[in-house]
Amino acid sequence: MKNSSKASGAAKLLYRRFNTLLIANRGEIACRVIRTARAMGLRTVAGYSEADRDALHVGMADSAVLLGPARARDSYLNIDRILEAAQKTGAEAVHPGYGFLSENADFARRCAEAGIVFVGPTAEMMEAMGSKSGSKLLMEKAGVPLVPGYHGEAQDDATLSKAAEKAGFPVLVKASAGGGGRGMRVVRSAGELAAAVVSAKREALAAFGDDRMLIEKYVDNPRHIEVQIVGDSHGNLVSLFERECTLQRRHQKVIEEAPSPTLDAKQREAVCEAARKAAGAVNYVGAGTIEFVSNGKDFFFIEMNTRLQVEHPVTELIAGVDLVEWQLRVAFGEKLPLEQDQIKLNGHAMEARLYAENPNKNFMPSVGRLRTWRTPEAVDGLRIDAGYGDGGSVSPNYDAMLAKVIAWAPTRDLAISRLARGLNETDIRGVVTNIPFLTALITHPDVRVNAIDTGFIERELAKLTPEQPALTALELGAAVAAILQSESEAAATDAHSPWRSSGWTAVGSRQRKFVFRGGAGEQSVTLLYGRRPSVLLLDGKRIPFASATSPRGGIDLVLDGVNHHVTGLLDGHEVYVRTQNGRFEVHWVDPFGTEDEEQTGGDRVVAPLPGTVVALLVEAGAKVDKGAPILTLEVMKMEQTLRAPFAGVVKSLKCKVGDIVQEGVELAEIEPAKT
C-alpha cells in the first residue's frame, strides 16, 4: 500500500545509512536489538545506568557508556545524557527500543537536530498518533471505527463526569499519553468516577509526565486485537497480520498470539485494512501498532503505538521477518523488503511474558540477584528473548520483565503445547517469578478453546494461583536428592566437609530423617541406606530410591523402579523442586544446622519493596476493617495499595506522601480491635 502522500523532503533527510547504533534501553529489548544490529554488520553501543553496570546488554554490545544513576529519569530517560553518549561514542543513530523514550517526540526531535538518526517515526508523526485523544480525532476524519467516548482537551471534573454519563457506565478512564495499563481504570458507576480519575491522573503523571485523561465506553466481553504495520520513507506501507492480546491483567498483556484465533479471513482483512488506513493518515514511517478493541464481531480503534511492541516476536514468527532489521533498513532510507501481497501467513505463534513477581501475593514485584537461570534450547519452535542470565540483578528501579518465552507451530493447539513445554523447562531462582501462573494460564481449558476476554484472568485468578499442594513421594524424593547432591558437591570442594570421608551419610547412622515445611504444613520422609538400592520410608511404605546428577542437567531420580528426570536446587535451607507434577518450594528443617529463617508475620503494614509513598488513605485514629486500604506505594512504576492485616485502630502513620521508603520499613501501626 502507498501512503496517501509522499513523505516530505525534510522527513527523508532523517533517514540515511549509518554504521554505529546506540541502544537507549535495557533488558531483553536491548539484547534483542544488539543481536540483529550486529548480524547486519553494525557496531553497537549500550547505554546503561549505575544499576546495570553488569547487565547482559552491556556485555553483549561492542562498547558501552554510563548514562547516569539508577533512577530512570537520571539515565534512560535523560535525553541530554543519551545525546552526549552518542556523541562520545561516535553513534550516528539511536534505537529507543520500547518504553522509556521510545514514544517521546521531544527525544526524536532532539536526535534530528543533533544529526542523529532516530530509529522510528518523526516527532510530528509521534505527536499526531501518540496522544490517544488527538489520534482519535484523526481516525474520525480517516473513517476508522471508534469506541464511543470523550477525547477532548477539557479536563475538569464536570466535563469528564458528563462524558462518562453520556457514554454510559461502565466506562474506561485512561491516560491520553503512554500505555502498559498505567493510568487506566475501569469505572462501573458514577460514584466511583472521581476517585478513579484522581488515582489514574497521579499514576499517569508519574509514568508519563502527562495526566490528561480520556473516557471510553467499556466494551463488554472485550478482546484486544492489534495490527503490526511498517512504513518506509518512500511512501510504502504494509501490515503484517494481527495479534490477539486478550489475556491481560489490569490492562497489562500477559499472553500474546498471532494470528488472532477470533477473526476469520474476512475480518482479518478488514482490521488490517483499517490499520493501514489509520497509519496512512499520518504517512507513517517506521514500525508501529494499531490497537483495536473487539466484541468478537466489530472492532474499534483504541490507539497507535509509534514504536516496536513487546510482543513483536509472534508477528516475526508467522510472517517470517525480522522487524528490527526492517526498522534499521527503513532508518537507512531503504524501501521495505516486501510488498503487501508478498507477505504470507504461516502457522501460529504465542508469547508469555516472564516477570519477577509473586502471583500469590497480588503480583508483588520481586527483586534480588539471580542465582539460577536455566532456559530450554531454542529448538523445535521455541524462542527465548531474555535480558538476564546467571548472576544478574533485578532492580526495583525498572520494569520487572525478565524474558519472553515464545513458541511457533503449524497450529494454535501445538503452539500452546510447545509454549507450555518452554515454560515448564525454565528454572529461575533468586527471585520469585510468575512461571507457575503462566503455565496454569496457557494450559487452562478455556484458553485452549479461545473462550476468553480481557477479564478472564481476574475471574479465574483463584484457579490460576492455587496454594501449593502437599508433596507426593516424587517431590519428597526430589527434595532429598537435591540435598544429597548439594552435600556431595560441597564434599568435593571442601576438605573439611563432614560428608567428605563418608559420602553424605552421618557417621554411625543407618538412616536419616528429612523434615520439610511448606504450604501444606510439615512433611517428613526417612532415607534408609547401606544397601543397594536405598529406600525411602514414607507413611509406612518402603520405596526403592536412587539418584544421580543427570548428564543433561538436573537429577535422574529412580523411585520404585521408575526413572524420573527432575530439577532440585538447594539454597541454604530452601529447597526448590520441579517434577512432572509442577513446581514446589519448601523449607528444609535441617537437624544438623541452625534455623536462621526470618520470622516476619503478616501482621504489620510494611513496605514490601523499596518505593515512594504516593497517598495516605486513612488518618491516625481511624477505625479500619481487615483489608481496608491504608496507603499507596509506587513500586517499580506501578501503584500498590497496602491494606490493614486485621481490624483495629490506626495508632500512627510512620510516613508521609513523597517519602522514599526501603523494603521492610514499617509504614503504619495498627492496634488490634478489642474483643
Q: Which residue type sits at 437?
A: F
C-alpha distance from residue 579 to each of 393, 489, 556, 582 (Å): 27, 22, 11, 5
DSSP 438: H
Residue 604 appears among annotated catalytic residues: no
C-alpha distance from residue 402 to each of 23, 353, 390, 471, 604 (Å): 18, 8, 12, 28, 30
Catalytic residue among 307, 383, 418, 578: 307
CA nearest neighbour of 153 among 203, 212, 105, 215: 212
Could you give the strand order of the β-sheet that contains 348-355, starting from the edge strand earlier in sequence?
A: 299-305, 286-294, 223-231, 237-249, 252-258, 348-355, 401-409, 382-386
Q: Which residue type sits at 330?
A: V
The answer to whether residues 29 and 69 touch, using CB atoms and an 8 Å cutoff, is: no
Half-sphere exposure of 492 (CA within 13 A, CB side): 6
Within 8 A by CB and 6+ apart from 598, the residues are: none
Residue 313's H or E segment, with its range, is helix 312-319
Grid cell for residue 139: 481516525
The answer to whether residues 564 and 547 touch, using CB atoms and an 8 Å cutoff, is: no
Pairing of strands 63-68, 43-49: parallel
Q: Which residue type sits at 482?
A: A
Residues 341 and 206: their CA atoms lie apart, in Å, by: 43
CA nearest neighbour of 637 among 663, 657, 614, 662: 614
E strands in 235-318: 237-249, 252-258, 286-294, 299-305
- Number of CB atoms found within 10 A of residue 199's CB: 18
Tell me the catalytic residues. 307
